[in-house]
Amino acid sequence: MKIRLLLYILMVISIALVGGGVYGFNSLLKAEAVYEPVTGVVEKATHQRIYKRRKPVMEYEILIFYDTPKYGKLTSYLKGSAFFFLDKGDKVDMLYHPEHPREVRYPLYEKILWSVMCGLGIAGCTGMYFLLFVKGEKRKNQSKNQSI
């Protein structure tokens, strides 16, 4: 019974992942309608090993310059451990809000994030469905055959 409850909880988490991915894609579609596309250039890409909670972590700092027709050359700064594939001189597709030019979105990276969320959620829902219902039906059929 406890395992069945755990499977239901995992099913709810998987459904939440799918919902989050769909919400993210919807948000990105709305932003693509309002925001202006621009290509940024990575001007500075540094990495350093730091210790977080006594564990070594590589942290990347990326400085991106992008040109806007109205505001000129602007910068965007990324910091984290997921930008290991960007080097100096790389081109990055970006979206910026025409009225708030510092409000920037990175559609490729967001699409990757939302796709991973949807994929994990769908895989989890499929797995939980088979564990809960298909395997459960087999158990019921086996117990009926044994009682006859």
DSSP readout, 124-142? HHHHHHIIIIIHHHHHHHH
Give mean pLDDT, residues 105-118.
92
DSSP code, position 11: H
Q: What is the pTM of this model?
A: 0.77
Total number of residues shown for the chain: 148
pLDDT at position 103 is: 92
Q: Are 83 and 62 in contact (CB under 8 A)?
A: yes
Confidence of residue 145 (pLDDT cuts 50, 70, 90): low
pLDDT at position 2 is: 80
Q: Which residues contact 113 (CB under 8 A, 6 or more apart)?
A: 24
* Residue found under tokens 């088979």: 130
Give mean pLDDT, residues 27-48.
92
Q: Are 119 and 25 in contact (CB under 8 A)?
A: no
pLDDT at position 50 is: 86
Picking from 26, 10, 8, 14, the residue whose alpha carbon sits closest to that of residue 118 is 14
pLDDT at position 64 is: 93
Picking from 81, 35, 90, the residue whose alpha carbon sits closest to that of residue 61 is 81
* Residue found under tokens 């949807």: 118
Q: Within 13 Å and on the Cβ side, how many CA atoms surround 91?
A: 5
What percentage of residues in the chain have a pLDDT greater than 70? 90
The 10s digit of each residue's pLDDT in 45-99 is 888 888 888 888 888 899 999 999 989 999 998 887 777 788 898 999 999 999 9
